[in-house]
A and B are shown apart, each in its own frame.
Chain A
Amino acid sequence: MKSKRPSALHTINRRLFLRAGTATLALPALEAFSAPASETATARNFISIGTWLGWHQNAFFPKEAGRDYLMPTTLQPLSGQRDQFTVFSGLDHRAPNGHGSWSNFLCGSRPETYSLDQQIADQISGKTRFSSFELTAGAGEVSKAMSFTKQGVGLPMIQRPSVFYKQLFISEADRTRSEYLLRSGQSSLDPVREDAMRLQKSLTGRDSDKLEEYFESFRAVEKRIGRQIETINDPVPTTSYKLPSYDPITPNLQIEAEEIMYDLMTLALETESTRVISLFLHGLGQVFSFDGEALSAGYHGLSHHGNDPVMIRDLVAIETAHMHCFAGFLKQLSEKKNTAGKSLLDDTVILLGTGMGDASRHSNANLPTLVAGGGFNHGSHIAIDAEKKDAPLLGDLYITLMQRLGLETDNFSNASHNMNQLFS
């Protein structure tokens, strides 16, 4: 794949790039800015957003294919940004059905395996302060995961905006404590390792192999501590962004949490603190009120609408609220431009979707999917006929996204083509 436009990003002054934003930033001396992952990359960040309860298909998919589609209800908030995204229908991973397989969203046909965002993070996040962030809005009592490591371990998600904020913009007091914990932790690792090795020597065969997992993790932790100590005294970006005095962590404050997370995600990309972020939008029994009117049932209850028109209307109202927040995020990213006119949006591939095709039936076929940013030629509804022989899989689209981010790969899960012909 050839780079479509000459990337002016290599040469511009970062300050100009960032000045357009709302945040005032004292800039860290990061070298990553001038070094894209590879020559063919035309976008450098990857965002994935997934809803636990899916997106009601009839309100998400346009009726018409191609460029001249009528904007469906759920996508109405994006009307003004029509040429900045592409809607896909007919794509999925041929994964098993049910809530239990939800993680097929980023993992492909086999849930709970190496997820798309982590595959990307492991390759492109090189010198940023954080390899990736996993965030959630609206989480309640249940712990779930959307992102999975190479070993299939689900990554914990940050639920409190204040925690995410503190990682991005660490305060002086927090920094002193962190530095103490990091340095003391580092200095004490040797005796622990020494004793662990003594233990390993007493074991045989498979037991000793099993303990290798421990040493591997130990080395990774050591490396991570090293990396954090190296960067702890780097200038940390500061921001004038004001967090509310509370964390909107109860499920009824989901939409509010979502908006704040999007603001912080924009700041995280803008300050080049990371290149990869995933955001999970949970759905429990919370009853939302919009414009002072309470909806007819909780979010989960609505998703089992059984085709009741009132329930569907209220479900779509929630999904439209999600989309409002998302539209705001796209707007923020598009407004941050460098001198050559390239926006942060063009520099960021954004995948919005879900692992659940139809929550009312627990079906994981035909996953509602939308791609924005990344400098793609947007503006269409690409309708795939899944019945057709050789119909592309959702994984094929993911390969196209990975290639846009400079990954040299032709495989994702059960897919081994790409969709570059249909979408570039």
Chain B
Amino acid sequence: MKLRFLTFVCSLSTLAGSWVSAEEIPAPIQKIISNSCLECHDADSEKGDVNLDSATIDWKNIQDLDIWQRALNAIDEGTMPPPDEAQPTEEERNSLFAFLDENLLEHTPIGGTLPRRLNKAEYEATIRDLVQLSKFKLPLGFPKDTEYHGFDNVGEGLVLSPPHLNAYTEVAREIADQIFPPERAAPKIQKWEAGPEDMVLSFSAATVHGDALRLVSRSVDIMRSCTWPSRIEIGDSGTYQMSVSASKFLADTGHPFEEPMLLAVYARPVSATDRSTIRSFRLLKEISVKTESPEVTTFEADLYKGETLLFHWANAEMTHAHAELSAQFEEWFKTDPRFLAAWQKAVFRAGDIRNPQTTSLRGRNGWDIVSKHWADPDLDLSEATMDSKMTKRFLQIADSNNGTFNLADALCHFYHNNGPALEFHHLTVEGPSKLVESPADKARENIRQRITGVRKEGQSQEDFAREMLKSFLPRAFRRPVSDETIASYLTIATRHWDEGHSLDEGLHLLLRNILISPRFLYRSLGPEKMDDFDLATRLSYFLAQRPPDATLRDLAERNRLSPTIPAGPNGERKEYWVLRREAERLLPTRETAPFIQSFVGQWLDTETLSGIMPDPKFRFEEDSTRLAKRETERFFLEILAKNLPMTDFIDPDFTFTSVNFAARNYGFTPRIAKAGGNKLDTKAKAEFQRIGMKRGGRYGGLLGQAAILMATANGVDTQPVIRGVWVLENILGTPPPPPPKNVPALTPDTQGATTPRELLSAHTREAACAGCHQRIDPVGYVLENYDPVGRWRTEWPVSNAKIDPSGTLPDGTEIKDAIEFKSWLVENIDLFSQCLAEKLMIYATGRVPNYAETREIEEIVKRNHETGNGFRDLLLSLIESETFRTK
């Protein structure tokens, strides 16, 4: 990425060189520069790769612009010259600032977004909208978008290379195949067979005993309860005949199961994730299994391309649901104290109820331990009463997030060994006896008509296609289309028909080609001055990540998107009231909205969470990760929707999570209004909800949220430098330059010989590193009290050294810990607002704001601060800005 940017800069500067546009720096300014800067930034030392040793500045050269803008920022923030060097007088500082400010403003005209190729998410949403393929997704292997300045929708970063166009060509063909399908060849009748050995074993869901595979749980999570043949995949959607052989497995251990066992057979796409719940699949048949000897059930059902079968025992005794599991244990313990004592011994190994261990009990291994204790004649029964503390604690654990799963996974093996279990013996699938239309086939007719319109009586193929192009192309290209363009495309179909191909083949070919046109693949294609079509497109992709809807298209067609009325105390500003109204209409109302998912995910890096697997010792599983991510997204939405002040991002009096999560990860028990004064039941505790908290605490606000503390760690340990860089870049908006080459990364020693602080103090000692690390390290260390999943800690793991989070901020403020850092941020909230505003503008306009644009944003941030500092107001003002409205 960086490289591409540099090459680009170089080629431009060579171009610019031919004009010789360099201007002499006035002598008094040169003198200030020479006295204050050149000690380090002359041609010889070039400290930080910055050389200011020149009598001229070429304001047309992007490299010069960049360097002098950085110089101006450093002067403005007072970070240069460094405190231990001779300082210029206040007057010198001001005149240097004024000189640079004036020139930079003049030479950075607002605008300049490059054509933006639709990124993957935008492409998908555009196709879903344009051709109504509601479930359209790009294939997994589609080339990844390159990020540029933290976002994947910036013109500069979105290259189009031969592999892209190849992939677009391929995808366009697939889309055309779905809408104008080629004739299907007669399917081959196939027969698949699967025995227990061919079925997937996942967690403790299934075990194989001789010629039978046993299922024991009715959990809705398929990986905890189901099995499926991973070697069957249906090729042709059609009707298939299936035979399933199953039986009851009952033992004489006092667990009868008299009613029929219900074996539910579902259709599951082979490529669906194993993390799915049973509800996401199509039920084909429920088989009543009544006998202990295998019985074969034969039935017919429709299976679609790409599917296999999935087996679930719907009325199993065993469950993985929290409250039900603890109730199940409770019942059992009442009648069998030895059973209770065995579990107590397995979970509280040292007899200490404060230190339960369930992770290692997962699965068969866990059950082996429990059953060994159960059979032990010397088993200690002293705590095995229903009212002992240990029993109560155990039942609590059985009703907690991970406790439930771990204990249930162990208990499953009791049922695997002793029953009741449902035994699966054999499966055959044969067919298709006839082809059927999949749901996609059925939806096709509507989709087709939406694209082509209805062919009138007696209308020629050519006229039909012309009419179609007239209405479809403007939607596909998101603006009016000239007659010439329509004519070009029309020839594609007419020529194909002339060669003897069918109507559908011509339309198929036409659609394939429309979808590889640059007019479809790119946005921001117009001239500098955006018209209402461009504006509608920018607004719509920004806030809704989709092409303009009918309302926006209509406004653009009537040229009614950008009228203004005077605004401000003296009417000195213009309010773009229609644009503002439309923006308000498009603002997201749910945290699952694409704008929130995509913008928040990229700004705060929470999109990386799915790739982070926390170390098991943190007992932080999939559902916790999802909850953490949702907290941040919902929090962002709340501030936006309610127009809360910007300071709430940093130090709010609320968050959104579950009572359980707050207790477990944030260490506080929220006070929740309880209906009727009753205690919260298990369900209410697990519910995602608004939770009030005191301001000024450890938690709350972006810097105390689990999702962010996770995204800035790696699941295993924390790296203060990574968090520090993250804070500078995404909270303060002052990213450090990339580290110099050939510096070996310091890998933290998890075995714990030295504390990270000792290891990293090398940074601030080495002169080459100190410049940046004096800024990075303090804002990284200040978060060290949060572990890799965001829980508060006071000691580093392994070494047990006490954490020292204190430091000195760039402006010289001493801070003691994260809480003080947050109050500093609240006092200096415009730094954060400016950072967020710039991120929003990069995401919205697809370019990095230049100097003049940054200044316009600063004005907006300042004005907003004076008028309540609401986030929604800020966003709407940004949309009205010249920066937003210029290409």
Q: In chain A, residues 357-385, which have Cβ atoms closer than 8 Å to a Cβ of chain B?
A: 360-363, 365
The reply to whether A217 and B167 contact each other, CB–CB distance below 8 Å, is no
Contacts A207-B525, A221-B166, A250-B200; A199 near B518 (Cβ below 8 A)? yes
Interface centre among A151, A217, A248 (most CB of B within 10 A): A217
Q: How far is the CA of A337 from the CA of B651 in the complex (A)?
A: 72
The reply to whether B201 and A188 contact each other, CB–CB distance below 8 Å, is no
A287 lies within 8 A of chain B by Cβ = yes
B742 lies within 8 A of chain A by Cβ = yes
Interchain nearest-CB distance for A398 vs B (Å): 19
Closest to A154 in B: B144
Closest to B495 in A: A187
Q: Mark B1-20, 1 if CB is under 8 A from A, else 0.
A: 10110000000000000000
Q: How far is the CA of A98 from the CA of B713 in the complex (A)?
A: 11
Q: Mark A80-103, 1 if CB is under 8 A from B, else 0.
A: 000000000000001011110000
Closest to A307 in B: B751
Interchain nearest-CB distance for A211 vs B (Å): 6
The reply to whether A301 and B613 contact each other, CB–CB distance below 8 Å, is yes
A179 lies within 8 A of chain B by Cβ = no
Q: How far is the CA of A97 from the CA of B747 in the complex (A)?
A: 8
Q: Binding site of A, secondary structure by majority: helix, strand, loop or mixed? A: loop
Q: In chain B, residues 196-229, which have Cβ atoms closer than 8 Å to a Cβ of chain A?
A: 200-203, 208
Q: How far is the CA of A155 from the CA of B747 in the complex (A)?
A: 30
Q: Mark B141-164, 1 if CB is under 8 A from A, else 0.
A: 111101000000001000111111
Interchain nearest-CB distance for A154 vs B (Å): 5
The reply to whether B611 and A156 contact each other, CB–CB distance below 8 Å, is no
B668 lies within 8 A of chain A by Cβ = no
The reply to whether A156 and B139 contact each other, CB–CB distance below 8 Å, is yes
**Tally of A interface residues using CB under 8 Å:** 81
Chain A residues whose C-beta falls within 8 Å of the C-beta of B580 in the assembled complex: none
Q: Mark A202-228, 1 if CB is under 8 A from B, else 0.
A: 111011001101101110110010000
Q: How far is the CA of A285 from the CA of B273 in the complex (A)?
A: 12
Q: Mark A47-69, 1 if CB is under 8 A from B, else 0.
A: 00000000000000000000000
B300 lies within 8 A of chain A by Cβ = no
The reply to whether B163 and A153 contact each other, CB–CB distance below 8 Å, is yes
The reply to whether B140 and A159 contact each other, CB–CB distance below 8 Å, is yes
Number of A-B residue pairs at CB separation under 8 A: 195
Chain B residues whose C-beta falls within 8 Å of the C-beta of A307 in the assembled complex: 751
| The residue from A140, A210, A306 contacting B114, defined by CB atoms under 8 A apart | A210
Chain A residues whose C-beta falls within 8 Å of the C-beta of B192 in the assembled complex: 245
Q: Binding site of B, secondary structure by majority: helix, strand, loop or mixed? A: loop
Interchain nearest-CB distance for B448 vs A (Å): 19
The reply to whether B139 and A141 contact each other, CB–CB distance below 8 Å, is no
Contacts A204-B527, A252-B230, A304-B613; A214 near B201 (Cβ below 8 A)? no
The reply to whether A213 and B613 contact each other, CB–CB distance below 8 Å, is no
Interface centre among A143, A158, A173, A253 (most CB of B within 10 A): A143
The reply to whether A211 and B146 contact each other, CB–CB distance below 8 Å, is no
B35 lies within 8 A of chain A by Cβ = no
Closest to A207 in B: B115
A145 lies within 8 A of chain B by Cβ = yes
Q: How far is the CA of A143 from the CA of B142 in the complex (A)?
A: 8
Q: How far is the CA of A202 from the CA of B182 in the complex (A)?
A: 37
A152 lies within 8 A of chain B by Cβ = yes
Chain B residues whose C-beta falls within 8 Å of the C-beta of A141 in the assembled complex: 140, 273
Chain A residues whose C-beta falls within 8 Å of the C-beta of B139 in the assembled complex: 156
Q: How far is the CA of A218 from the CA of B164 in the complex (A)?
A: 10
| The residue from B4, B114, B160, B616 contacting A217, defined by CB atoms under 8 A apart | B160
Chain B residues whose C-beta falls within 8 Å of the C-beta of A324 in the assembled complex: none
B485 lies within 8 A of chain A by Cβ = yes
Q: How far is the CA of A217 from the CA of B166 in the complex (A)?
A: 8
The reply to whether B144 and A143 contact each other, CB–CB distance below 8 Å, is yes
Chain A residues whose C-beta falls within 8 Å of the C-beta of B233 in the assembled complex: 246-247
Chain B residues whose C-beta falls within 8 Å of the C-beta of A249 in the assembled complex: 270-271
Interchain nearest-CB distance for B530 vs A (Å): 13
A291 lies within 8 A of chain B by Cβ = no
The reply to whether B513 and A151 contact each other, CB–CB distance below 8 Å, is no
Interchain nearest-CB distance for B645 vs A (Å): 35
A-B contacts, 9 listed (Cβ < 8 Å): A98-B714, A154-B144, A194-B488, A217-B166, A221-B165, A224-B166, A287-B201, A289-B201, A362-B716
